[in-house]
A and B are shown apart, each in its own frame.
Chain A
Amino acid sequence: EVQLVESGGGLVQPGGSLRLSCAASGFTFSYYWMHWVRQTPGRGLVWVSRISADGSSTGYVDSVKGRFTISRDSAKNTLYLQMNSLRADDTAIYYCARTTGGTIDYWGQGSLVTVSS
């Protein structure tokens, strides 16, 4: 069974940093492209970032470029999102997601990030 379990969310002050982790199991992690998607009540689902199966290619939405970094450790079957210079509008539930053939087919349960003073 495919499982994606996020961790690392919490409350952080504006300008602070946080690193999200996503532990993957039930599939061969190193074969799949992975994504981060976030969700807020006001702005719905927003794609944040993706990384290729071998980690050599990454992509970001403009609003996080230069502040967020996606990475992966295939030895640990774990996906990461390093978030720096956090702003109030980064407040959201962050989902880790797997793609198969270009389609996001599995989502984690989400990790809540709250940016507030």
Chain B
Amino acid sequence: EIVLTQSPDFQSVTPKEKVTITCRASQSVGSNLHWYQQKPDQSPTLLIKYASQSISGVPSRFSGSGSGTDFTLTISSLEAEDAAAYYCHQSSSLPFTFGPGTKVDIK
């Protein structure tokens, strides 16, 4: 099983500040790494697919990069509505797995 680790676990950020979340895989997943946002009491929503591909309707301040085992989700300028948990997910091999999540709070 491919284990995904995320850092940090929690981040308290001021609006307009840049946010960087990292996801590391225990073995290569190629580009089969996706990012999701989950707001309280809501289902997850897709933010970035295949490491760096943007999703229609997702604000351009969200971007992704990386390949192999190291990946990054960047929020270029945080807005209040971005308070949420962020998860990475690999679909390279079964069983599919998710990272433990990073909670972003607004200062």
Which A residues lie at the B interface, using CB under 8 A? Answer: 35, 37, 44-47, 50, 59-62, 95, 99, 102-110
B97 within 8 A of A: yes
Are A104 and B101 in contact (CB-based, < 8 A)?
Answer: no
B interface size (C-beta, 8 A): 20
CB-based contact A59/B94 at 8 Å: yes
Contact A110 B46 (CB under 8 A): no
In the complex, 21 of the A-B residue pairs with CB atoms within 8 angstroms, ordered by the A residue number, are: A35-B96, A37-B98, A44-B87, A45-B98, A45-B101, A47-B95, A47-B96, A50-B94, A50-B96, A60-B95, A62-B95, A95-B43, A99-B91, A103-B50, A104-B34, A104-B46, A104-B91, A105-B46, A105-B49, A107-B44, A108-B43
Interface flag for B100 (CB, 8 Å): yes
Chain A: which residue is nearest B43 at the CB level? A107
How many angstroms from the CA of A59 to the CA of B50 in the assembled complex? 21
- From B36, B43, B87, B91, A102 is in contact (CB under 8 Å) with B91
Q: A44 to B100, alpha carbons, bound, how many Å?
A: 6
Contacts of B36 in A (CB 8 A): 104
Interface residues of B (CB under 8 A from A): 32, 34, 36, 43-46, 49-50, 87, 89, 91, 94-101
Given contacts A47-B96, A61-B95, A62-B95, is CB(A103)–CB(B34) below 8 Å? Answer: yes
* B87 touching A45, Cβ below 8 Å: yes
Contact of B95 among A44, A59, A104, A109 (CB under 8 A): A59
Please tell me if the beta carbons of A44 and B34 are within 8 angstroms of each other in the complex: no
List B contacts of A102 (CB < 8 A): 32, 91
CA distance A45 to B96 in the complex (A): 11
Top-6 shortest CB links A-B: A45-B98, A47-B96, A107-B43, A103-B49, A61-B95, A59-B94
